Amino acid sequence: MDLNTLWFILIAVLFIGFFFLEGFDYGVGILLPFLAKTDDERRVTINSIGPFWDGNEVWLLTAGGAMFAAFPNWYATLFSGFYLALALILLALILRGVAFEFRSKDERPGWRRLWDGCLFVGSLLPALLFGVAFGNIIRGVAIDGSMTYVGSFFDLLNPYALVTGVTTLLIFTLHGALFLSLKTEGVIEQRAKAAAKRLVLPVIGVALVFALYSYFETDIFRAPLAAVALILGAVLLVAVWYFIRSGRWGRAFVGNGLAIALVAISMFGSLFPRVMISTLGAENDLTIYNASSSPYTLQIMTVIALTLVPVVLAYQGWTYWVFRKRVGGDKTHLEY
């Protein structure tokens, strides 16, 4: 395995970790106005992800930084071509982060409703638009010989990308409901379980539409690893439905998270060794070789990653262990 392949795999792992962890973050934010009716219930809901949300976003920041350093041409083409969509994601993430910090600074109901609305929008937009972006990446976009995206913003809103966006939106929402069923107690726990029961069949349905559409629009079923991963992801979603029906909420959460990871693996597996596909001809595809940094840069990055990544993983694992108890009840300290 050369360093170009290694860094492609590492970036894929970072995005997979981001979707698994931030997926339930987004889901909780999306469900906030539907599950929490009073201020105390909203505070319980928000506090369930309070210790984790900013650490989870580190996976995205690290993936973007690794992409910039290891494959600068990929980063430049992606961020310039998808500029408006990614700017909307950035604004949504800013709103979301500010909402976490500001909502508890004033006890007026209108103030808190404002930031609760920002938290909802800041969770819904990324959950949708990340799917749209990755749908376009694996389907292919108009990239010319100078590695420049020559399409328009509206070209990115094609039916396949929108189906992918709806898929990520629904599966992240289900992920959030399952997380709340494990992390909260009382009325929020019961409402989260009821929401998961209502969501699981629509998630399976839209996932099947996504898989069928992918057969015609992408190379997922032409790459053995990608095809197997996507099929296993669909099977896991059916298992999630069974676990929910039988009340095995921990298994349902893990199964749904693994399904998210397998869908992401199928996407990256269908790309390799490309990083972006051009609809203007295979000669214009960006690959792990023509989009990469120099071998020396990749060597230095590898040493740094091997040194620091285990520290970050240990710290985040420790955070989840310390804040592992359920939120809710009279003795719970509500920060947000």
Of 66, 78, 75, the residue nearest 3 (C-alpha): 66
Cα(167)–Cα(204) distance, integer angstroms: 9
**Residue range 265-289: mean pLDDT, rounded:** 94
- pTM exceeding 0.85: yes
What does the mean pLDDT of the chain come to? 92
Domains and CATH numbers, the chain: 3-142+149-273+280-319 (1.20.1630)
The 10s digit of each residue's pLDDT in 53-91 is 888 888 998 999 999 999 999 999 999 999 988 999 999
Q: How far apart are CA 211 and CA 326, in angstroms?
A: 36
The answer to which of 21-35, 216-230, 313-327 has the lowest mean pLDDT is 313-327
pLDDT at 334 over 80: no
Q: Are strands 286-287 and 274-276 parallel, antiparallel or unpaired?
A: antiparallel
Helical (H) or strand (E) element with 170: helix 159-183
pLDDT at position 107 is 85
In the structure, what pLDDT confidence band is assigned to residue 27 with cuts at 50, 70 and 90?
very high
Q: What is the pLDDT of residues 175-190, one digit of tens each?
A: 999 999 999 999 999 9
Beta bridge partners of 327: 184
**Above pLDDT 90, what percent of the chain?**
79
209 vs 105, more confident: 209
For residue 118, the model assigns a pLDDT of 94
Rg of the chain over all Cα atoms, to the nearest angstrom: 20
pLDDT band at 313 (very low <50, low <70, confident <90, very high): confident
Helix (H) or strand (E) holding 276: strand 274-276
Could you report the per-residue pLDDT of 90-130, keeping only the tens digit for each?
999 999 999 998 988 888 989 999 999 999 999 999 999 99
Mean pLDDT of 143-161: 92
